[in-house]
A and B are shown apart, each in its own frame.
Chain A
Amino acid sequence: MKKVYVLIGNYGSGKTELALNFAFRAAEEGKRTELLDLDMVNTYFRLAEHGKLTEMKEIRLVSPNFACSGIETLSLPAEVASAFDMDWDTVVFDVGGDAVGSTALGRYHQDFMDLEPGALEVLNVINIRRPLSGTVEKIIRIQEEMQAHARLPISGMINNTNLAEATGPEELRDGYEIIREVSERTGVPVLYTSGKKQLLDRFLSEGHDPRYIGTPMYIDTYMARDWNSWIKSL
């Protein structure tokens, strides 16, 4: 059965990074994979920057024609239809940030509704170290807004709490505590917890309730920039 992952979330929560990781993992398992850039908000930090990398891994990348070319107005490419019409094993949608970014999904409402039951996973990527996702109330508010704009129910949350290069063991732990409360209040399950191997292993060994961890997902970082190394020297 075709599996469709839709990654939404607060601006800067790590959606593009996770989209690449979801797609790469599927491709490594030998799945026919399509990765779609549906970000209509930000002109920077686009999947299109990783065109060569995705091509190497035999992933089909669908990206707005003008992404990364310095054009300020983005448009949805017609090829998005291929996600629904073609016979993929795995399809990953990387969506723009916040409710405003989720709006792009509304255009494909009927296509999503026509998917086989169980095929669709709409995932809210959460990093509680982002200022607008720092509390239970803020996360619930953004989640409700995104759900309304996307016209899709959120299947689950991803705890992707990090501080980029400065991430320590307390990031996932604090994220776990807050996202657990969001889950308890809203009934939306935690489906994944993601992080770099060493930090995620350490978090997993701490004996937290697995119901609020979901599937652990080791990630590699592709979107990081040189300035992460400059931090140390400044």
Chain B
Amino acid sequence: MALTLMKGSEAIAEAAIRAGARFFFGYPITPQTEIPEYMSARMPEVGGCFLQAESEVAAINMVYGAASTGARVITSSSSPGVSLKQEGISYCAGAQLPCVILNVMRGGPGLGSIQASQGDYNQATKGGGNGDYHLITYAPASIQEAINIFGFAFDKAEKYRVPVLFLADGIMAQMMEPVEMPEMIDFKVDPEKKPWAATGWKPGDDPAKRAVINSLYINTEELTVHNNNLQAIYREIEKNEVMYEAYMTEDADYVITAFGTVARIAKSAVNELREKGVKVGLFRPITVWPFPYKELKEAAVNAKALLDVEANEGQMLIDVKLAVNGDKPVEYFGHCGSLMPTTAEIVAKILEMKEGK
């Protein structure tokens, strides 16, 4: 298939539709407004539903409702809007509703800025809402990778009955890249495969088959059983769904850790440093939850030190340190707000570490 030149927002929206998403609920916020804009034009063409909610809170609750029917549902927002959604996300996790949520991160805290940032890593991976829950969280580093992940994101959400979160940033949504789109899949809700879904119970049907979608368990014992079930699912996900990229880490003296857009910048730094003869590699988690602890430890086994680079205060740094568990020194470089670390800055930092400064 021919390549097309697409903006991240458009590509993500189209990829979701091709993966069977037929319901989009959202509210505009820069830098992801092009996603609802695209959905508003495209959903009617494929017989889907685009609805601009009155707020992000309403949008995520519409997701809860539509996902309850077994349909493929998506919402998108940017940092402050995703904060508003947290309650509903926790409800979706509690009610075990498969759905996809996009966070196109911008600067924070609060309204912050409309430029790109990675400041919501902790919110995404450590749970922004209440209760013991996790979302399978993908942090793609290119538009094509985001498209490819959409090819299986709904499948994973449905397999484990967990919400899936895409953690992108303003650059990913605004940049244009040549991409290849997959074919449209023919998705239909199969009540046999989704016995939990509310697909239409009629009087006279088996009362046991009545679907009740709920996250409220008044009885303590029942809530404990429910949570134990969720925990078992999370352990399964941790075992099966870790994704990462290790780039030139085999012989690396220094392993850079970074995710999303920043990992791309770091990769350019690795290439530049390799040309200078410095043995550097990049370890990039593609799933930031589950985090590839074991894989990072293995990738850094021969390294002298690690450098964690992020466009935040070093939120992933904690996971990187947990992965190496004190075996290696781990340094951090990055900026808070919306200032992106540059290739030159990363190169300088590694050279500094090499010279033992």
Name A residues whose Cβ lies closer than 8 Å to a Cβ of B: 11-12, 43-45, 70, 72, 127, 129-131, 134, 162-166, 225-227, 229-231, 233-234
Q: Which residues of B contact A229 (CB under 8 A)?
A: 268
Does B7 count as interface, using CB distance less than 8 angstroms? yes
B114 to chain A, nearest CB (A): 5
Complex interface: chain B residues within 8 A of A131 (CB)? 4, 6, 10, 14
Interface pairs A-B: 5 shortest CB-CB? A163-B178, A166-B178, A230-B264, A129-B5, A233-B267
Would you call B175 an interface residue if the criterion is a C-beta within 8 Å of the partner chain's C-beta atoms? yes
Q: Is the interface of A mostly helix, strand, loop or mixed?
A: loop
With contacts A70-B113, A129-B4, A130-B5 known, is A230 near B30, CB below 8 A? no
A137 to chain B, nearest CB (A): 13
CB distance from B243 to the nearest CB of A (A): 15
Contact B113 A127, beta carbon cutoff 8 Å: no
- Chain B residues within 8 Å of A, Cβ to Cβ: 2-7, 10, 14, 30-31, 113-115, 141-142, 145, 171, 174-178, 261, 264-265, 267-268, 271, 343
Q: List 6 A-B contacts (CB under 8 A).
A: A127-B5, A129-B2, A163-B3, A233-B267, A233-B268, A233-B271
Given contacts A43-B114, A129-B178, A233-B264, contact A226 B343 (CB under 8 A): yes
Q: Contacts A44-B31, A226-B265, A233-B264 given: A12-B5 contact, CB under 8 Å?
A: yes
Which of A166, A231, A234 counts the most chain B CB atoms within 10 A? A234
CB distance from A182 to the nearest CB of B (A): 18
CB distance from A176 to the nearest CB of B (A): 15
**Complex Cα–Cα for A34 and B174 (A):** 28
Complex interface: chain A residues within 8 A of B267 (CB)? 230, 233-234
Least Cβ–Cβ distance between A221 and chain B, in angstroms: 12
Main secondary structure of the interface of B (DSSP, over half): mixed
C-alpha gap A204/B5 in the complex (Å): 23
With a CB–CB cut-off of 8 A, which chain A residues contact B265?
226, 230
Given A12-B5, A131-B10, A163-B3, do A44 and B174 touch, yes or no (CB 8 Å)? yes
| Residue pair A231, B177 in contact (C-beta under 8 Å) | yes
Cβ-defined contact, B268 with A163, below 8 A: no
Q: In the docked arrangement, what's the CA distance between A165 and B5, Å?
A: 10
Q: Which of B3, B7, B31 is close to A166, meaning CB atoms less than 8 Å apart?
A: B3
- CB of A162 within 8 A of CB of B31, answer no
* The one of A162, A227, A233 that contacts B177, using a Cβ cutoff of 8 Å: A227
Could you tell me if A164 and B114 are in contact, using CB atoms closer than 8 angstroms?
no
Is there contact, CB below 8 Å, between B3 and A129? yes
Residue contact A163 to B31, C-beta cutoff 8 Å: no
User: When chains A and B are docked, how far (Å) is the Cα of A230 from the Cα of B343?
Assistant: 11
Of A134, A227, A229, chain B has the most CB atoms within 10 Å of the CB of A227
Smallest distance from the beta carbon of A100 to chain B beta carbons, Å? 9
> A70 and B4: CB pair below 8 A?
no
Apart from A43-B30, A231-B177, A234-B264, 4 more pairs, CB < 8 Å: A164-B176, A230-B268, A234-B141, A234-B145
Q: In whole angstroms, how far apart are the Cα atoms of A203 and B145 in the complex?
A: 32
